[in-house]
Structures are given as C-alpha cells and as structure tokens.
Amino acid sequence: MVLSHAIVVYDLVVLAALGLDFVLVSRRSTAVIPRVPAVLLAVLLGVLVPTVTDRPVEFAAIGALVLAGALFGYANFLAFVKRGITFSILVNHARPPNARRPDGDFITLEERIAEMRGHGWVSGDTAGWTLTASGRRVVRVRRAILRALHIEAVG
Amino acid sequence: MIFASILLSAIGTIFLSETLGRGKVVYTRMTTLVGSCALCCAAAGYLVTRQGGGAAEVAAIALSCVPVMGAWLGFRIHVSNSITLELAGLLEDGRPRALREIAEDYDVNGHTARRIEILQADGYLTQDADARVTDTAKSRVILVLTRVLCGPGGPRAVADTLRRRDDGDGVV
C-alpha cells in the first residue's frame, strides 16, 4: 500500500473506531479514558507499518500523531459531554424557570476535589486541602499558556 | 512531505483561529475554527498538488488534520474552561481550605453567571432574567446534540453526582 492510501485508511479506521466506541460503550458510562480502542488502534498501526511500500517511517510518524491526537481529543470530548457545565446549563434552561435547578449545582465542587486528589494535585482531608508540588506545577503551566495565548479563563 | 503538511496545516489553523478569535472561548466560535482549518488544509493541498501530489495526498492531509484539531480543541477548552484547574489555582497560596471555603473563594454564583453571560452574548439564551434557551436553529441543534451525546438529563457524570447529592451521598 502506498503512503497516502495507508494514511487515509488508518485515519478512517481511527475515526470509525472511536465513533463506534462512543455509540456502543462510552456514551453510557462515566469514564473518559478509552483504553480498549487505544490499545487496538496502536496494535493496528504497528501491523500496518510494514505494509507501506514507500516511506513507512513517515507513515508511522503520521499514524502516531493521528492516534495521539484522536485519543486526546476524544478523551476531552468525553469529559465535555459527560461533565460539561455549559451543556448542563443549556439543558437546565430549556426547562421552565420553576422546574430548573440552581445553575451553581452543576459545578459539583466535591467531584473536582476528588479528581484533583486522584491526579495527586492536592493532599489533605475534609478539614483542609492543599496543593502538592505536582498541583503547583500544573497551575504554573496553565497560567503560562493562558498568558502566552491571551486566553480568557472562564473555568 | 505529508507529515510536514499536516503539521503546517494544524499550526496555521491554530494561529489563524486564535488571531481571529482574540482569546474568546473556543466553542462559541467554532465556525472560525472550522473555516480556518478548511483554509489551511486547502492551502496545504494546493502546495502538495503543485509538487506532483494527487487527490489521495490531499485527502490524507485533510483527514489527518481532523484528529489533530480535535486534540487542540480539547486542550484549548480544557485550559480555558476547566473548573478543576481554576480550583487548583485558588489553592496555590498554600493555605489549607475545606470544601466550604473553596466554594466561597471560587464564587460559584459568579462563575455560573459568567457562563450564562457568554451563552446569552452568543445567542443561545435570551437576554431577559429568565435566560431561556432561544428558539433559533443553532440552539435547537445544540439541544438535540446534547440529548443525543449526553442523554436526556444532560451530561451523565454531572447528573449522577447531583443524584447522589440529592440522595445524601455526595460528600468528599
């Protein structure tokens, strides 16, 4: 298979596999990391590389870029559709005012603290939470990105 | 050549859409992002065909740009909108805080109001005090998409957390 055809085939398989995962598995769960499709697609990439007759190294590089990009984007997409505050607010505001929840409920701070604890960004207990060294690094990196790209933070 | 074209298209798209968007929240200006991507992929495709490439090369560049831009979109939304990252920033001063203090410092109502302002400014919610979902094509599309993607109760994890909280079982 020539390089361009192999890329098109692999791209389509990646998009189809993640679409299928969403419809069959991820839509009904609360998980945001698609482990099974990630492993299968990585294996497929390894299988396809030797079949590319011209520039297999370039194919491997493009495949890795596409796979990493797709998985990262898909995980963020899952987080957005499963935990997105904006979607929650829109659904809430589609109801009559007397049938709505307070919008602040959707922020679910306790879930965020649990998430930070899971990532190792905070330590402590219900009496008081503090940032770990890892958490401080994350905060510094985020601030640098916001500054460099002039991004408005609305989190 | 294809690898370089994909990278250049992606970088060009990010540069163009961020310049035109001037730091605004990315999901309120998706047309700019999609348009920038189409433009940059078309430019890359033109250059590739000038050097002897064919339709398959152009398709490979355009298709490969989709997941790369998906990653950028996810990263960009996460950096600007992540409540978790915002909370982490609050704790940077080193003072231990209980959940109640974090909620006060974060200003839940203020942040919620800001999100509603953004949705009103972008035409998804009415400008009055009720802030109802507007009766426009784009609002209807978003609501249908939300129900299809997230389920009828909205984002599943948020709905589950609220259900647990309502049942008195949601304390960290």
**Do A108 and A140 lie in a common domain?**
yes
Q: Give the distance from residue A86's alpha carbon to the nearest chain B alpha carbon, in angstroms.
A: 7
**Do A58 and A95 lie in a common domain?**
no
**Do A75 and A7 lie in a common domain?**
yes
**In-domain check, residue A26:** yes
Find the domain containing A123 and state its range.
Answer: 86-149
**Do B73 and B87 lie in a common domain?**
no
Least Cα distance to A66 among B65, B91, B151 occurs for B65
In a 10 Å sphere around its CB, with 0-12 CB exposed, 13-18 middle and 19+ buried, how is residue B100 labelled?
exposed
Query: Which residue reads 């500054």 in tokens?
Result: A147
**Do B44 and B111 lie in a common domain?**
no
Contact (CB<8Å) A108/B162? yes
Is A77 in contact with B72 (CB distance < 8 Å)?
no
Task: Provide the percentage of residues in chain A whose pLDDT is more than 90.
Answer: 57
**Do B89 and B77 lie in a common domain?**
no
Q: pLDDT tens across B5-54, in order?
A: 999 999 999 999 988 887 777 767 788 889 999 999 999 999 999 998 89
Q: pLDDT tens across A27-63, in order?
A: 877 777 888 999 999 999 999 999 999 899 999 999 9
Residues of chain A positioned with their CB less than 8 A from the CB of B159: 88
**In-domain check, residue A32:** yes
Of B88, B116, B170, the CB nearest to A131: B88
Q: Which of A3, A8, A9 to mutate to test the interface with B (most CBs of B within 10 A)?
A: A8
Q: Give the distance from residue A9's alpha carbon to the nearest chain B alpha carbon, in angstroms.
A: 9
**Do B69 and B93 lie in a common domain?**
no
| B172 pLDDT higher than 50 | no
**Do B88 and B46 lie in a common domain?**
no
In a 10 Å sphere around its CB, with 0-12 CB exposed, 13-18 middle and 19+ buried, how is residue A57 labelled?
exposed
Q: How is A60-106 classified by DSSP, letter by letter?
A: HHHHHHHHHHHHHHHHHHHHHHHH-HHHHHHHHHTS-GGGPPPGGGG
Find the domain containing B150 and state its range.
Answer: 135-172
Q: Give the distance from residue A35's alpha carbon to the nearest chain B alpha carbon, in angstroms.
A: 17
How many angstroms separate the CA atoms of B30 and B36, rounded? 10
Residues of chain B positioned with their CB less than 8 A from the CB of A153: 79-81, 86
Contact (CB<8Å) A62/B96? no
Q: pLDDT tens across B52-61, in order?
A: 889 999 999 9
**Do A75 and A90 lie in a common domain?**
no
Is A120 in contact with A129 (CB distance < 8 Å)?
no
Q: pLDDT tens across B46-104, in order?
A: 999 999 889 999 999 999 999 999 999 888 888 888 888 999 999 998 899 998 899 88
**Do B69 and B89 lie in a common domain?**
no
Number of domains present in the structure of chain A? 2
**In-domain check, residue A120:** yes
Is B40 in contact with A115 (CB distance < 8 Å)?
no
